[in-house]
Chains A and B, each alone.
Chain A
Amino acid sequence: MSETSKITSKITSKIEIRGLRKSFGSNEVLKNISLDVAKGGVVALIGPSGSGKSTLLRCINLLVVPDGGSVRVGDTRFAFGEGAKLSDVRTLAKFRATTGMVFQHFNLFPHMTTLQNVIEGPVTVRRMAKTDAEKLARAQLAKVGLAEKADQYPATLSGGQKQRVAIARALAMEPDVMLFDEATSALDPELVGEVLAVIQRLASEGMTMVIVTHEIAFAREVADRLIFMRDGVVVEEGAARQVIDNPQQAATRAFLSHFHRTGALPPANAAP
């Protein structure tokens, strides 16, 4: 059941999550998670693997259907649990079209060129005319610095380029929010910078974003809020710099001690 009585969010929040629960079999992955993201806000989700951060991200666009609680993005709210009806596939699809998602393993469509990958959403989902969609797609590819790769197939691109195409593909849907699921975890270290640079620019343009990441220095730089999760609960939450520089919980301190907290961003050598 949804639980909307304790309204701690500002009216302006873009994403509002209340009492979210999810189990896979007997494994309870999310235990009563609540979360708000302000319009234009950037929230970084960090935590050890198995902490539930990726599942939480996938619950925001309902790629994973929660067992209980509620999810609101913009004006669309879904409640889950006893008594809540499961939404039909069309309602879900329409909702997902307003959120962009970038995956750890890119998930580009290998049978389409870069341009076709970016056009696919606008044409198939938004029913946009092909010429308009192509104009939009070329603009998005230019934005991630890959205009000249439009006619190449994903197999010919580097990991960093693939991920930038994936970002362009998500942006072509002109989403209200962007979700990043460990977008740089599958990349060679020297390719991380170019993807982070694109995400950082999106943040500066005021895109609302939730970023699951292991790049602590990047999170400190780009996110305004940071959430540390462990074992399906939010352990610590606050301003990104404050949590990283001065963690209050022992678990957060222990986790952060695995990273060099120099605050420096990886070099954006191949960035556009």
Chain B
Amino acid sequence: MYQWDFGILWSYRWLFLNGLGVTVGFTVVIVVLGLVFGLFGAFGTLSRFKAVRLVALTFIEAFRCTPILVQLIWFYYALPILAGVEMTPITASALALSLYGGSFYSEIIRGGIVSIDRGQSEAGAALGMTPGQSMRRIVLPQAIKRMIPALMNQSIIQFKNTSLVSVLAVPDLVYQSQVAAHDSYRPLETYTAVAVAYAAILIPLTIIVRRGEKRLAGSE
């Protein structure tokens, strides 16, 4: 029978905290950047111009349909060779994760916008609104409500996806725990603690999301 000894982890507390800080900070960056990419992607696919739609669609499918782990490695190793762009592991992984998340966000945003009844933008147009005014005043306020649960869900996935940046030696929680595991010869305790740390952050978040969903559903 394996003898658990979580006490050993105490001496690595600063390493873990450092890693956790990187993980959380990284998530904030890739969620914000991802939403920006997603917004461009969504409005690109809804554009009046075919060329714009095509570019947006290509971008979305390229990132949505390839594994994020491959994208991370590709951004770090292939871009310098192909385009001569040298990037630090942090920049490369932030870019890859943001674009990956952005491709999913854009589908959520696009879906939210097209789910609003055509009659709504028609009513705006009939009042004399420009397409931009009716998008901002009529369609988006309703669409955002519908998007929020899916956007939150995708952001939770993004939080967990940051664990992959350890392959590029970005010192996140998983990377630091690898260091701790090798040093202490206690991988079971270390990775269990890491799993608990992720869950401890995400479970309260999912509860907030679920509550928000209920409140939004009630206000329709």
Q: Which residues of A contact B (CB under 8 A)?
A: 61, 63, 89-90, 93-101, 103, 105, 107-111, 120-121, 124-126, 155, 166, 169-170, 173
Interface of chain B residues 109 through 131 with chain A (CB within 8 A): 117, 119-120, 122-123, 125-131
Q: Are B130 and A90 in contact (CB under 8 A)?
A: yes
Q: Report A-chain residues with C-beta under 8 Å of the C-beta of B120.
A: 107, 109
Q: Report A-chain residues with C-beta under 8 Å of the C-beta of B141.
A: 111
Q: Report B-chain residues with C-beta under 8 Å of the C-beta of A90.
A: 130
Main secondary structure of the interface of B (DSSP, over half): helix
Would you give 20 A-B contacts (Cβ < 8 Å), ordered by A?
Answer: A61-B126, A63-B125, A63-B126, A96-B126, A96-B127, A96-B128, A97-B128, A103-B122, A103-B123, A107-B117, A107-B119, A107-B123, A109-B123, A109-B138, A120-B137, A121-B127, A124-B133, A125-B129, A169-B127, A173-B127
Given A63-B122, A103-B123, A107-B120: A89 touches B131 (CB 8 Å cut-off): yes
Q: B142 within 8 Å of A by Cβ?
A: yes
Q: Are B130 and A89 in contact (CB under 8 A)?
A: yes
Residue of A with least CB distance to B120 = A107
Say how far B46's CB is from chain A's closest CB, in angstroms.
15
Q: Report A-chain residues with C-beta under 8 Å of the C-beta of B142.
A: 109-111
Q: Which residues of B contact A (CB under 8 A)?
A: 117, 119-120, 122-123, 125-131, 133, 137-138, 141-142, 145, 220
Residue of B with least CB distance to A88 = B130
Q: Are A93 and B122 in contact (CB under 8 A)?
A: no
Q: Report B-chain residues with C-beta under 8 Å of the C-beta of A111.
A: 141-142, 145
Q: Report A-chain residues with C-beta under 8 Å of the C-beta of B117.
A: 107
Docked pose: A63 CA to B121 CA in angstroms: 11
Say how far B161's CB is from chain A's closest CB, in angstroms.
33
Docked pose: A105 CA to B122 CA in angstroms: 11
Q: Are A173 and B128 in contact (CB under 8 A)?
A: yes
Docked pose: A120 CA to B119 CA in angstroms: 16
Q: Are B122 and A107 in contact (CB under 8 A)?
A: yes
Say how far B58's CB is from chain A's closest CB, in angstroms.
27
Q: Are B128 and A105 in contact (CB under 8 A)?
A: no
Docked pose: A110 CA to B220 CA in angstroms: 7
Docked pose: A105 CA to B119 CA in angstroms: 8
Checking A96, A155, A173 against B125 with a beta-carbon cut-off of 8 angstroms, the contacting residue is A96
Docked pose: A269 CA to B103 CA in angstroms: 55
Q: Are A93 and B130 in contact (CB under 8 A)?
A: yes
> Which of B126, B133, B138 counts the most chain A CB atoms within 10 A?
B126
Residue of B with least CB distance to A62 = B125
> Which of A90, A95, A96, A173 counts the most chain B CB atoms within 10 A?
A96
Say how far B113's CB is from chain A's closest CB, in angstroms.
14
Checking B119, B127, B145, B220 against A125 with a beta-carbon cut-off of 8 angstroms, the contacting residue is B127
Q: Report B-chain residues with C-beta under 8 Å of the C-beta of A170.
A: 126-127
> Which of B123, B129, B130, B133 counts the most chain A CB atoms within 10 A?
B123
Q: Give the top 7 A-B pairs by smallest Cβ distance, nearest first.
A: A97-B128, A107-B123, A107-B119, A101-B126, A121-B127, A125-B128, A93-B130
Q: Are B129 and A93 in contact (CB under 8 A)?
A: yes
Q: Report B-chain residues with C-beta under 8 Å of the C-beta of A95.
A: 128
Q: Report B-chain residues with C-beta under 8 Å of the C-beta of A126.
A: 128
Say how far A113's CB is from chain B's closest CB, in angstroms.
12
Say how far B172's CB is from chain A's closest CB, in angstroms.
40
Docked pose: A96 CA to B141 CA in angstroms: 23
Docked pose: A126 CA to B120 CA in angstroms: 19
Residue of B with least CB distance to A105 = B119
Say how far A110's CB is from chain B's closest CB, in angstroms.
7
Docked pose: A93 CA to B128 CA in angstroms: 4
Q: Report B-chain residues with C-beta under 8 Å of the C-beta of A173.
A: 127-128
Q: Report A-chain residues with C-beta under 8 Å of the C-beta of B128.
A: 93-98, 121, 125-126, 173
Q: Report B-chain residues with C-beta under 8 Å of the C-beta of A61.
A: 126
Residue of A with least CB distance to B128 = A97
Q: Are B131 and A100 in contact (CB under 8 A)?
A: no
16 A-B pairs besides A93-B130, A169-B127 with CB distance below 8 A are A93-B133, A94-B128, A96-B126, A97-B128, A99-B126, A103-B122, A103-B123, A109-B120, A109-B123, A110-B220, A111-B141, A111-B145, A121-B128, A124-B129, A126-B128, A170-B127
